[in-house]
Structure 1
Amino acid sequence: MFIAITGPTGVGKTTLASRLAARLDATLMLDPFADNPYLPQLYVEAERATDDLALKVELTFIALRVAQLRQIEMITSAGGRVVADWAMVQQHIFASKTLPAADAGRVAQTCGIWSKDSPSPDVLIGLTAPPSTLLHRVRQRGRDMEIAVSEANLAALNDAFQRTFTSDVIQRDGSTFDALNDEDLNELIAQLTGSENP
Structure 2
Amino acid sequence: MNLDSYKYIVVEGPIGVGKTTLVNKIAMHLGGRVLLEQPQANPFLEKFYRDAPRYALSTQMFFLFQRINQLRDFSTTLAQNDLFDSPGHLVADFLLAKDPIFARLTLADEEFKLYQQMYDHLRPQAATPDLVIYLQAEPETLIERIKKRGIEMEASISPEYLARLCESYSRFFYHYDEAPLMIVNNEHLDLAGNDADFSLLLARIDGMRGKREFFNRGE
Q: 1:185 to 1:93 in 2, by over 3 A?
A: same
Q: 1:42 to 1:154 in 2, by over 3 A?
A: same
Indicate whether 1:43 and 2:42 are aligned.
Answer: no
Q: What is the TM-score with the length of structure 2 in the denominator?
A: 0.78
**Alignment-derived partner of residue 104 in structure 1:** 112
Q: Which of residues 19, 24, 48 is equivalent to 2:25?
A: 19
Q: 1:70 & 1:76 partners in 2: Cα distance?
A: 10
Q: Which of residues 60, 63, 67 is equivalent to 2:62?
A: 60
1:91-170 maps to which residues of 2 (within 5 A)? Answer: 91-166=99-174, 168-170=180-182
Q: 1:6 to 1:101 in 2, by over 3 A?
A: farther
Q: Which of residues 184, 190, 197 is equivalent to 1:172?
A: 184
- Return the letter of the residue paired with 1:170: M
**SS of corresponding position for 2:34:** strand
Task: Name the % identity.
Answer: 32
Q: 1:178 to 1:74 in 2, by over 3 A?
A: farther
Q: 1:191 & 1:55 partners in 2: Cα distance?
A: 39
Q: 1:182 & 1:76 partners in 2: Cα distance?
A: 31
- Return the letter of the residue paired with 1:189: L
Cα distance, 1:190 vs. partner? 4.1
Q: What is the TM-score with the length of structure 1 in the denominator?
A: 0.86
Cα distance, 1:191 vs. partner? 4.7
Indicate whether 1:185 and 2:185 are aligned.
Answer: no
Cα distance, 1:64 vs. partner? 0.7
Cα distance, 1:88 vs. partner? 1.4
Is the contact made by 1:40 and 1:145 (CA closer than 8 Å) also made in structure 2? yes
Cα distance, 1:27 vs. partner? 0.8
The CA RMSD measured in Å over matched residues stands at 2.1
Q: 2:141 & 2:78 partners in 1: Cα distance?
A: 34
**Alignment-derived partner of residue 15 in structure 2:** 9
Over alpha carbons, which structure has the higher Rg? 2
- Return the letter of the residue paired with 1:187: L
Q: 1:187 to 1:105 in 2, by over 3 A?
A: farther
1:64-103 maps to which residues of 2 (within 5 A)? Answer: 64-77=66-79, 78=81, 79=83, 80-103=88-111
Unaligned runs of 5+ in 2: 1-6, 209-219
Q: 2:116 & 2:17 partners in 1: Cα distance?
A: 23
